[in-house]
Amino acid sequence: SYELTQPLSVSVALGQTARITCGGNNIGSKNVHWYQQKPGQAPVLVIYRDSNRPSGIPERFSGSNSGNTATLTISRAQAGDEADYYCQVWDSSISWVFGGGTKLTVL
Amino acid sequence: EVQLVESGGGLVQPGRSLRLSCAASGFTFDDYAMHWVRQAPGKGLEWVSGISWNSGSIGYADSVKGRFTISRDNAKNSLYLQMNSLRAEDTALYYCAKDWGYYYGSGNAFDIWGQGTMVTVSS
């Protein structure tokens, strides 16, 4: 089976840069998508195919993917960025996989 | 406005059945694959099932294979999930999600999500 590993939590000071990682075997060969989920709300797509931002997502959100780690980077973090973040990939052996999620706290 | 609205959730006893529905609007429904994703209380996201634009390709998570059936009616812009032999571990908020592409396994992102419908399996 294919697993995605995310840190349970990440903290960042207001205005600083947060980096949330997603680890998986040779994940660099896959397309990674990232979702933001605020309490009581549905997930929202923030990055698709490693590094692309959907319309309406601020430029502060960016992504990269290489080797065994994909990274979601949030620059100039704001209080409104506090949320759970999930990475996702398609693996032909087991279909769709989500990471366990990372809770981002903005201090 | 692009919108997905789920319905059909509720409290059900173990072993019983439930059918979820998802009504789509604001986009050409039959151009896209669709998915069901669930989230147990306080837990992460789990993909449940996906169906391609013309129902020609369907997939299930191992945890629901043989018990759940996904279907769609493009004439009614609707997605369904028939859930049989329900278990306590199926208790979750079930989201309907739109795929960016037409095939459920193309690796495209899920760009639109509904607000979910809660399913509670308990005696």
What's the per-residue H, E or C state across A39-101? CCCCCEEEEECCCECCCCCCCCEEEEEECCEEEEEECCCCHHHCEEEEEEEEECCCEEEECCC
Q: Say whether pLDDT at B83 is over 80.
A: yes
pLDDT (mean) for B77-92: 98
Which of B1, B45, B64, B106 is the best residue to mutate to test the A interface, defined by the most A CB atoms within 10 Å of its own CB?
B45
Give the confidence band of A75 by pLDDT, cuts at 50, 70, 90. very high
Residue with tokens 């369907």: B58
Length of chain B in terms of residues written:
123
**B60 contacts in A (CB within 8 Å)?**
95
Candidate from A54, A96, A100 with C-beta closest to B44: A100
Q: Any chain B CB within 8 A of the CB of A31?
A: yes
Specify the pLDDT at position A93.
Answer: 82
The values of phi and psi at residue A24, to 5°, are -165, 155
* Distance from the B110 Cα atom to the nearest Cα atom in chain A, whole angstroms: 7
pLDDT (mean) for B41-69: 97
pLDDT (mean) for B58-76: 97
B93, HSE (Cβ side, Cα atoms, 13 Å) = 17
Q: How far is CA B81 from CA B16, B48, B64, in A?
A: 14, 10, 11
Write the pLDDT tens digit of every residue in A6-59. 999 999 999 999 999 999 999 999 999 999 999 999 999 999 999 999 999 999
Mean of pLDDT over chain B: 97
Candidate from B46, B107, B113 with C-beta closest to A43: B113
How many C-beta neighbours within 10 Å does residue B28 have?
Answer: 10
Q: Do A86 and B45 touch (CB under 8 A)?
A: yes
Candidate from B45, B59, B106 with C-beta closest to A98: B45
pLDDT (mean) for B15-43: 97
Specify the pLDDT at position B25.
Answer: 97
Specify the pLDDT at position A29.
Answer: 95
pLDDT (mean) for B40-68: 97
Token digits for B104?
């459920």
Of chain A residues 53-72, which have a CB less than 8 A from chain B? 54
Among B112, B115, B118, B117, residue whose Cα is nearest residue B34: B112
Q: Say whether pLDDT at A94 is over 80.
A: no
pLDDT (mean) for B69-86: 98
Q: Say whether pLDDT at B21 is over 80.
A: yes
Q: Any chain B CB within 8 A of the CB of A28?
A: no
Amino acid symbol at A30: K
Specify the pLDDT at position B118.
Answer: 98
- What CA–CA distance (Å, rounded) separates A53 from A61? 7
